[in-house]
Amino acid sequence: MTEIRICASIPPMRDRASFDVLVIGSGAAGLAAAVSAERAGASVALATKTTLQACNSAKAQGGIQAAFGDDDSPEIHAEDVMRSSHETANPRLVEVLTSEAPSAIHWLEELGVEFTRQGSAGANGQAHSRAGGYRVARCGGATRHRLLQVGDRTGHAITKALRERYEGGHGVELPHHALRVLAPSDGGWVASFDTKDGSADVEAGAVVLAAGGRCFAEAGERGELSTNHPNATGEVTRIAMAAGAETRDLDALQYHPNGGAWPSTMQGYSIPETTRAYGAVLRNAAGEEFTDSLGPRDAVSAAIVAEVEKGKGVETPDRRPAVWLDTTRISPEDAEISLPYMLRRYRGAGIDPLAEPIYTYPVLHYQNGGLVIDEHAETTLEGVFACGEIAGGTHGRNRMMGNSLLECTVFGRRAGKAAAERGRS
Ligand SMILES: Cc1cc2nc3c(=O)[nH]c(=O)nc-3n(C[C@H](O)[C@H](O)[C@H](O)COP(=O)(O)OP(=O)(O)OC[C@H]3O[C@@H](n4cnc5c(N)ncnc54)[C@H](O)[C@@H]3O)c2cc1C
């Protein structure tokens, strides 16, 4: 028995289940696409490798970018993206990303996400109050305060709201369906899955690939730590390539500048970039600040590695390379509002980041490149769409923090709508 739950209104075609739209992956991008496709009137199936909850998106902490400040605009947001990408991002995709950011935030709110509001400004005055009432921080590479947060569990809040909306609709859920092959068919595409009980084929007029990146598998091969969920293994990119899809920048992997380096239970944990947004700075063994702590991610990671190579870093008790992240500069008010989960994790491990600096070192985090898409999120294969980390171009070769959850929402919505139109035609 497979776990396919087919709505009475959706007849099986030959011996296969058939839908207008098949979405692969249940992170923020896949969930946004599935909700959007259903809203557009399509019959939808959402297939995912293990459970619907298992994904990187739910682990995202820091926040999501959108230009709400009086001193900000989608154009300035786009300039920051292009500069951080070293002008390698696709300007048209960036324009879509930043111009639709405010409406994407309102869409998430309509689905039940409650972004932290600017009740009390932190002692550092880091948050701006004139940004639509939201508490916003300035993240690495940004020239304005535009990072909205839900405490430091933003990804959890977004995926929960999207998942509950999808589960409340008529869409079909296919957990424990790992995509193995994608092939063209008369009606669109046929997807073959490995399931708990064997295998299953599903046919769809259009397919949305939202299976995330490959940094968990890549870190395993390199013998390194990763922030990623174990399902981030990248085989769906390879499956799409085998079907003929074009890719870009696949070699450009991103290190998160602030992986937890000690205690051992925090190794591979991504210390939220909002620690630096709220005042934390990087210091070497001599206590000197050696880089702009709010520079673009690749620059900050490279500066940490270079400082260690110069012999100016520190060593963790288990002899790993590291530098200090001086979190003692964060005000308790900012920490309580925007970093409660991080504080709980470290304090639970016996370290109080507000009383002592913490060890940090870059850790493998994000796949910048991926499948080539157009502004409707369609890949170079007709009827196959891609959104989220599996897609390339929006961030070029270096993503800014807070733009991935945004990409999942903006291009997930677009992919779902366009796939519904295609799948129903
Ligand atoms: C610890 C951490 C913190 C982060 N913090 C932030 C942040 O603050 N702000 C921000 O913008 N970004 C952040 N990111 C990045 C961002 O969360 C991810 O890049 C983004 O959420 C990816 O979403 P996605 O939907 O594309 O993929 P994922 O969320 O990774 O979902 C992929 C889905 O595809 C499924 N899947 C994989 N292979 C298959 C297969 N063969 N068949 C079927 N299903 C498959 C997986 O099980 C999963 O459900 C963070 C990432 C991590 C890991």
For ligand 1, the distance from its centroid to the CA atom of residue 123, given in whole angstroms, is: 33
| Residue 8 banded pLDDT, cuts 50, 70, 90 | very low
Candidate from 24, 35, 55 with most ligand 1 atoms within 8 A of CB, to mutate: 55
Q: Which pair of structure tokens corresponds to residue 43?
A: 């019959």
Largest CA distance in the chain: 70
What is the residue with the minimal CA distance to atom 17 of ligand 1?
A: 57
What is the residue with the minimal CA distance to atom 36 of ligand 1?
A: 211
Residue 112, pLDDT score: 97
Predicted TM-score of the model (pTM):
0.93
Residue 119, pLDDT score: 62
| Residue 15 banded pLDDT, cuts 50, 70, 90 | low
Give the SS3 label for residue 93: helix
What is the residue with the minimal CA distance to atom 45 of ligand 1?
A: 49
Catalytic residue among 153, 297, 413, 422: 297
What is the residue with the minimal CA distance to atom 49 of ligand 1?
A: 26
For ligand 1, the distance from its centroid to the CA atom of residue 389, given in whole angstroms, is: 7
| Residue 7 banded pLDDT, cuts 50, 70, 90 | very low
Contact between 327 and 354 (Cβ < 8 Å): yes
The dihedral sign for the CA sequence 285, 288, 291, 297: positive
| Residue 37 banded pLDDT, cuts 50, 70, 90 | very high
Candidate from 156, 404, 410, 411 with most ligand 1 atoms within 8 A of CB, to mutate: 404
Give the residues surrounding ligand 1 with Cβ less than 6 Å away.
24-30, 47-50, 54-57, 59-64, 154-155, 178-179, 210-212, 227-228, 231-232, 235-236, 270, 366, 388-390, 401-405, 408
Q: Write down the residue that tokens 């994000």 correspond to.
A: 366
Candidate from 49, 57, 193 with most ligand 1 atoms within 8 A of CB, to mutate: 57
For ligand 1, the distance from its centroid to the CA atom of residue 57, given in whole angstroms, is: 4
| Residue 13 banded pLDDT, cuts 50, 70, 90 | very low
Distance of CA 135 to the CA centre of its chain: 20
Q: Give the β-pairing of 247-248 and 253-260.
A: unpaired
Rounded to whole angstroms, the Cα distance separating 37 from 39 reads 5
What is the residue with the minimal CA distance to atom 18 of ligand 1?
A: 57
Rounded to whole angstroms, the Cα distance separating 365 from 22 reads 27
Residue 39, pLDDT score: 97
What is the residue with the minimal CA distance to atom 51 of ligand 1?
A: 60
Question: Average pLDDT for residues 395-408, to the nearest whole number?
Answer: 97
Residue 16, pLDDT score: 79
Which positions ≥6 away from 412 have C-beta within 8 Å? 28, 29, 30, 31, 32, 33, 36, 210, 387, 388
Task: Classify residue 234 as left (phi > 0), alpha (psi -120 to 50) or beta.
Answer: left
Q: Is 297 a catalytic residue?
A: yes
Identify the CA nearest to 303 among candidates 143, 140, 152.
140
Residue 206, pLDDT score: 98
Contact between 258 and 271 (Cβ < 8 Å): yes
Q: Give the β-pairing of 147-148 and 64-65.
A: antiparallel
What is the residue with the minimal CA distance to atom 50 of ligand 1?
A: 60
| Helical segments of 100-177, H only | 101-110, 154-167
The answer to whether residue 122 scores a pLDDT higher than 60 is no
Contact between 395 and 238 (Cβ < 8 Å): no
More confident residue, 123 or 217: 217
Instruction: Please report, to the nearest 10 degrees, the dihedral formed by the alpha carbons of residues 64, 66, 72, 77 taken in order.
Output: 80
Q: Which atom of ligand 1 is nearest to the CA of 63?
A: 8
For ligand 1, the distance from its centroid to the CA atom of residue 27, given in whole angstroms, is: 5
Q: Which atom of ligand 1 is nearest to the CA of 387?
A: 26
Residue 121, pLDDT score: 45
Rounded to whole angstroms, the Cα distance separating 147 from 277 reads 9
What is the residue with the minimal CA distance to atom 52 of ligand 1?
A: 60
The answer to whether residue 22 scores a pLDDT higher than 50 is yes
Contact between 239 and 367 (Cβ < 8 Å): no
Rounded to whole angstroms, the Cα distance separating 127 from 116 reads 11
Distance of CA 307 to the CA centre of its chain: 28
The answer to whether residue 126 scores a pLDDT higher than 80 is no
For ligand 1, the distance from its centroid to the CA atom of residue 317, given in whole angstroms, is: 31
| Residue 6 banded pLDDT, cuts 50, 70, 90 | very low
For all residues of the chain together, what is the average pLDDT?
A: 93
Residue 360, pLDDT score: 97
Question: Average pLDDT for residues 51-73, to the nearest whole number?
Answer: 96
| Residue 118 banded pLDDT, cuts 50, 70, 90 | confident
Residue 62, pLDDT score: 87
Q: Which atom of ligand 1 is nearest to the CA of 402?
A: 11
What count of residues does the chain have? Answer: 425
Residue 425, pLDDT score: 86
Identify the CA nearest to 188 among candidates 371, 413, 20, 374.
20
Q: Give the β-pairing of 281-283 and 321-326.
A: antiparallel
The answer to whether residue 312 scores a pLDDT higher than 90 is yes
For ligand 1, the distance from its centroid to the CA atom of residue 408, given in whole angstroms, is: 9
Which positions ≥6 away from 14 have C-beta within 8 Å? none
Residue 120, pLDDT score: 44
Task: Compute CA distances 200 → 21, 31, 190, 243, 328, whole Å.
Answer: 16, 21, 10, 19, 53
Tens of pLDDT, residue by residue over 246-303, are: 999 999 999 999 999 999 999 989 999 899 999 999 999 999 999 999 988 899 999 9
**To the nearest whole percent, how much of the chain has pLDDT over 70?**
94
The answer to whether residue 124 scores a pLDDT higher than 50 is no
